[in-house]
Structure 1
């Protein structure tokens, strides 16, 4: 069965809301909501297909777009490749040119809508930012909290409180304060034993590769309303992350780093290959900074994660 190549768009308005369209009842997966787009024709680039489809379906002309995520999905009757781009600017007023209902939806409300199964990773990618800040080790607790406060004030939306020296009581105390600083402004990801999950209901959880191997077969440790991520370094760990149903992963190290000098770097080509086989939003990590975002997007990554290059100077 030939895989159908579809160009789809996460269209973000000036107010941050995302445009959805409802599939006609007689269509494949009819009645469900979707991200607008359509089939890539023979000899057509994805960017050209996206522009054409969005003009035909919505009456808009795309003026700024970039790759977001690729998703391969096998339905019983159809195999598809969803080539999803983030559209951040367009001209014209979107309307259902083919009679389809439209809805502008806040990213946090996307899980409330019913999508085709293939769209699950796109929903997560649409809700995630393009940068993931990880706190450095070696700082006094006060300095860590000042840095988080400055990062939140600057608009950073996803922050991991790193625990490089084990999960001691000091980390738990720091986590309580960090949760307060991020409340309603940024998503905080914590690390630690899963026994702690109930103590921090507002936080997401970043699993270590060791935890991934230990718990993947048991599935998600908490409901879909909470963010779950995993630290991955190879194809095996990415497969375990998918098996566990995590929402996103970090893939590292892309380049040599000071924090892990002995780890063999993946390099851009190997990372591209791994991302291509992974139906999850992927943040590349290791020796990267904001200047690497564009290259990361072009190989299918959600964006870049970083410690030193992203940590605010307070």
Structure 2
């Protein structure tokens, strides 16, 4: 069965809201909401197809677009490759040219809409930012909280509280304070045993590669409404992350790092290869800085993650 290549767009308005369209009842996956787009014709460039489809469906022309995520999905009756681009500027006024209902929704509301199964990773990618901050080791509680406050002011919207050398009780106390700081501003990801999940309902959870290997056979440990991430370094770990149903991963190390000098860097070419068959948003970590974000997009990543290069000194 030939995989159907589809170009789709996450279209953002100036207020950050995202445009959705409803599929006609008589079409495949009819009645569900979708990110607008359509089939890429043979020998047509993806961006050309996207511009054509958005003009035909919505009466708009994209003027700023970048790759967001690629998703391969097998339905019982067809196989699709969704080539998703983020459109941040366009000309024209979007309207349902074919009479289809449209809705502008905030990223947070996307979970309230029903999409085809293949769209779940796109919903995650549309909600996630391009930078993922990981807290540095060796800081006191007050230093961590001060740095988090500064990072939030600078616009960080996703951060991981990582303090491997800290005692459990101290980590848990700081997690409570960090959650208070992040409320309404950013998503906080915690690390630790899954027994703690019930104590921090507002937090997402970031699993170590070891936790991923130990727990993936049991599937996702909590419902979809809560963010689940994992640290990955190999193709096998990417497969386990898929099996577990995580929302996003970090893939590392891209380049040599001070934190883990013994780890063999993957290099950009291998990163691109690993992400080729992976359907979830991925942050590249290890020897990358915020300046590498466009290169990360080009190899299929959501963005970049980091400790030193991202932490406000």
TM-score bracket, normalised by the shorter chain, equals over 0.9
**Kindly tell me: are residues 230 and 156 of structure 1, through their superposed partners in 2, closer, same or farther at Cα, counting changes over 3 Å?**
same
Check conservation: 2:161, 2:191, Cα contact below 8 A. Answer: yes
> Mapping of 1:223-238 within 5 angstroms?
223-238=223-238
What does residue 19 of structure 1 align with? 19
Q: 2:49 and 2:164 mapped to 1: Cα distance?
A: 46
Q: 1:103 and 1:168 mapped to 2: Cα distance?
A: 45
What does residue 100 of structure 2 align with? 100
Q: 1:163 and 1:194 mapped to 2: Cα distance?
A: 16
Larger displacement relative to structure 2 (80-89 or 218-227):
218-227
Q: 1:55 and 1:205 mapped to 2: Cα distance?
A: 40
1:166 positional shift? 5.8
1:201 positional shift? 0.7
Q: Deviations over 1:69-97 (max 9, x none)?
A: 00000011100000000001111110001
What does residue 154 of structure 1 align with? 154
> Mapping of 1:259-298 within 5 angstroms?
259-298=259-298
Check conservation: 1:161, 1:175, Cα contact below 8 A. Answer: yes
1:148 positional shift? 0.4
1:163 positional shift? 2.5
1:147 positional shift? 0.7
1:140 positional shift? 1.6
Q: TM-score, normalised by structure 1?
A: 0.98
Are positions 1:30 and 2:30 aligned together? yes
Number of residue pairs the alignment of both structures matches: 313
Check conservation: 1:255, 1:267, Cα contact below 8 A. Answer: yes
Q: 1:309 and 1:89 mapped to 2: Cα distance?
A: 29
1:169 positional shift? 1.5
**Which 5+ residue runs of structure 2 have no aligned equivalent?**
none
In the TM superposition, structure 1's runs of 4+ consecutive aligned residues that sit over 3 Å from their partners are none
Are positions 1:45 and 2:49 aligned together? no
**Which 5+ residue runs of structure 1 have no aligned equivalent?**
none
Check conservation: 1:163, 1:171, Cα contact below 8 A. Answer: yes
1:223 positional shift? 1.1
> Mapping of 1:40-79 within 5 angstroms?
40-79=40-79
1:23 positional shift? 0.4
Check conservation: 1:167, 1:192, Cα contact below 8 A. Answer: no
